[in-house]
Structure 1
Amino acid sequence: MSPHKLHTSGNERDTININKETVTNGISTDFPGHFYGEDGSFSLEQFRKDLNIKVHYNRQSDMSLSLMGVDASIANAIRRIMIAEISTLAIETVFVEDNTSVIHDEVLSHRLGLIPWKGSKQGIREFLQEFKRGEPGEDPFANTFDWNTDENDPEKLYHNANVYAKDIVFTPSGRQAEYFSGEDAIRPSNPDILIAKLRPGQRIALEMHMHKGIGADHAKFSPVATASYRLLPTINIMQPILGEDAHKFQGCFPKGVIGIEKVTRQEAAIKGSGYEKREGEDKAVVVDAMKDTVSRECLRHPEFQGKVKLGRKRDHFIFGIESTGQWDSDELFVEALRVLKKKCLTLEKQVVFMAR
């Protein structure tokens, strides 16, 4: 780290200060008229220039990305939409024909309702699921049991001893077969979810109606296990931290946040840098502030007083998105933007109508 960067703290307006026992500069000031002589009005061109999205990792079930250059209200709107306003499928109604298992009907129905499902994205957007009753006498959910008295393991002793999510049979109705067939058929996100355990003489036979809904109606419709964000931590080393203090400083942070480097000859030769005659000594440098949990541990030690400044970037949001399986994690973020755009268009029409 070059000496001139030691005193660089960035734009103070964009940083929330994390002090030993307080948090300051937490109020947003980016609105017209707050600072004398500055316009501060919204500019679409400036918004486009500041907006930036960076994906840190992207897996089918979870992803992490940074949304930069937006206000907290926008980031929070996207988070809330992912939790409560993206349509998914869930079992809404259960018609129990026969249940002689040890699980009560109400508990069994509740377990079935919480199973996450997946299927055709186009079909999910365009259809509400309907259930087609079987022919008279047809029982697709019946289980047949026999047992081998030479075994002690229930999995081997009984056939169909465990009822899993994969045992649920989806029966399309009408044109649903055009959208939900083959790889796009409605099926559980995790086929090995255990629903119940049965023993000889016990039986579960039931029908389920699946509906399309949103998390605002019931949590079982929410497509995410977790959708959260945090502000990017900032760590500014104001004065050199050297020798044993550097290693102690490193231990105040999670692994990978602070690194140890050697003071170079060039740094030691610069007067006023704090590195004079310290060539070859260990110094603390910031490696990856994103891994920091902002524990403030370093602020509790007197040897670091005035040498470090902690904060959080006001307009840098690090999202963590975990999908339950019906949508891929990256699709959830894009779908949330689509819903937000639709809301904005609706609001625009209302504002235009009010102005007439």
Structure 2
Amino acid sequence: MPAASNRRNIVGVKAETVTNVSSTDFPGHWPGEDHSWNIKHFRRTFRVKFFRNTPLFSQFDLIHTDAAIANTLRRIMIAEVPTLAIESVYVSNNTSIIQDEVLAHRLGLIPLCGDKDALKGLSWYLRGEDSAPREPTDEDTVVLYLKKACERNPDAKKTDTDPDKLYINHNVYASDILFEPAGRQIKSFAHDPVRAANPDILIAKLRPGQEIDLTMHCIKGIGQDHAKFSPVATASYRLLPDIKIKKPIRGKAAERFAACFPKGVIAIRERKDGEKEAVVDNVRNDTVSREVLRHDEFKGIVELGRVRDHFIFSVESTGQFDADEIFLSAVGTLKAKTINLKRDIYKMLRKQALDARRAREAENPDADEEGDAMDTQ
């Protein structure tokens, strides 16, 4: 059944209020209807549909699932998909106007990219006792270097005022960060070395006599620990809008009706009699601004809403992994969490059963001995 035709599944959007917010598809709510969760039904109805997929941006729909699942995947994409980022900055020389700690912070927020398999194969950097730093290795740490000094351009004219003509190396960009592999990294990153995902990020501005010389250690982490490890710039979802035209809207009114919505939502079609009529063309473009509800001529003619179990996801990658890969990694993380939860529940139930048996033995040890004797016979 189409989502738009199932009014139970539509969150009503009125001029001042929102109605039908709570879901009702649970056992016992509707007499004579079975709404118990069923894995076969879920597999038959659940769908993932991609509408746009590029390395840096992906838009897809999760259809016929619960808001808890959609929000779980969103939060995992933001905070639990591991990435590589600059963790420690060792400053040998910094005579720029940017303080060392501010410069280190700016460097840490620069997204990095490189060979994806090699990045995923890096081990976690485990600190020593009492969180004390330990010696980094080629298995868990990537080393980057940045060294740049500003000089006057000897060929500049006395009348020049443009810094690009007056100075050499006066802008420090992310592209100036260099990767020096060590150990197994020489082979694993041979075809795709670690570098800034966006080489045009401006790190600092220098003037003659100023220099930046530093070494950076990069490790794996998750956004839950620090935002610099988050693989996404944004990861959000919204419910699919629903627009129902209850009575035909024709003529000049059709044009006024279409003007109440963003471009592409309402189309003007010409009928066989030559009269123009407004029809819903693409509800995905609607922002549910409720502008149409401000006009008295359309009261009672149109109903606005959102489909409760149809989520439109937008994922924007920072560049280390493709946007769709981040979503698949989030699905894998959620699967691992459910497996661990299932295992822990079994452990808890076994422990409870064992504790209950020990309690019975403590209360009536003779009865347990007789039961064991009967079992032996």
TM-score by length of 1: 0.88
- Structure 1 residues 346 and 62, CA gap change in structure 2 (3 angstroms): same
| Gap regions ≥5 residues in structure 2 | 124-139, 351-377
Task: Tell whether 2:96 aligns with 1:101.
Answer: yes
Judged with a 3 Å threshold, the aligned counterparts in structure 2 of structure 1 residues 170 and 39 are, in CA distance, closer, same or farther, namely same
Q: CA deviation at 1:37?
A: 2.1
Following TM superposition, by how much is the alpha carbon of 1:318 offset from its aligned partner in structure 2, in angstroms? Answer: 0.6
- Report the equivalent of 2:251: 243
Query: Do the aligned partners of residues 243 and 131 (structure 1) sit closer, same or farther apart at CA in structure 2, a change above 3 Å counting?
Result: closer
Per the alignment, residue 202 of structure 1 pairs with 210
- Do 2:141 and 2:219's aligned partners in 1 also have CA atoms closer than 8 Å? yes
Tell me the equivalent position of 1:45.
40
> Which structure has the larger Rg?
2
1:29 maps to which of 18, 24, 39: 24
1:164 to 173, 193, 205: 173
The equivalent of 1:269 in structure 2 is none
Q: 1:9 to 1:193 in 2, by over 3 A?
A: closer
Deviations 1:198-254 (A, max 9, x none): 121111111111111111101111111111111000111111112221111111101
What are the within-5 Å matches in structure 2 for residues 154-303 of structure 1?
154-183=163-192, 185-264=193-272, 279-303=273-297
- Paired-residue identity, %: 53
Residue 149 of structure 2 corresponds to which residue in structure 1?
143
- CA shift in 2, pair 1:156/1:9, >3 Å: closer
* Deviation at residue 41 of structure 1 after TM alignment: 1.2
Deviation at 1:9, TM superposition (A): 5.3
Amino acid aligned to 1:244: K
Is 1:71 the counterpart of 2:71? The answer is no
Quote how far apart the aligned CAs of 1:106 are.
Answer: 1.4
Task: Tell me how many residue pairs correspond in the alignment.
Answer: 329
Q: Partner residue of 2:316? A: 322
Unaligned runs of 5+ in 1: 1-7, 134-138, 265-278
> Which is helix-richer, 1 or 2?
2
Residues 143 and 215, structure 2, Cα contact 8 Å, conserved in 1: no
CA distance in 1, matches of 2:190, 2:342: 39
Structure 1 stretches of at least 4 aligned residues deviating more than 6 Å after TM superposition: none
Counterpart AA for 2:252: E
Asked whether the 8 Å contact 1:233–1:289 carries over to 2, the reply is: yes
Give, in angstroms, the shift of residue 140 of structure 1: 6.8
Counterpart among 41, 49, 52 of residue 54 in structure 1: 49
8 Å Cα contact 2:267-2:281 kept in structure 1: yes
Q: Say whether the 8 Å CA contact 1:130–1:173 is kept in structure 2.
A: no
Contact 2:254 2:278 in 1 (8 A): yes
Shift of 1:29: 1.6
Q: Deviation of residue 10 (structure 1)?
A: 0.8
State the alpha-carbon separation in 2 of the partners of residues 218 and 322 from structure 1. Answer: 18
3-state DSSP class of the match of 1:103?
Answer: coil
Shift of 1:293: 0.6
Partner Cα separation in structure 1 for residue 28 and residue 109 of structure 2: 50
Secondary structure of 2:151's aligned partner: coil
d(CA) in 1 for partners of 2:11, 2:35: 19
1:130 matches 2:153:
no
Q: Which amino acid aligns with 1:191?
A: P
Distance 1:314 1:216 in 2: 28
User: What root-mean-square deviation, in Å, do the aligned CA atoms of Structure 1 and Structure 2 show?
Assistant: 1.8
Deviation at 1:54, TM superposition (A): 1.2
8 Å CA contact 1:87, 1:124 repeated in 2: no
SS at match of 2:49: strand
**Superposed CA offset, 1:172-192 (max 9, x none):** 232222322222x11100112
Code of the residue aligned with 2:216 in structure 1: it is: M
* Mean Cα deviation higher: 123-132 or 79-88: 123-132
Partner of 1:141: helix, strand, or coil? strand
Deviations 1:47-101 (A, max 9, x none): 0111111111111111111110110111111111111111111111111111111
**Contact 2:262–2:286 (CA<8 Å) still a contact in 1?**
yes
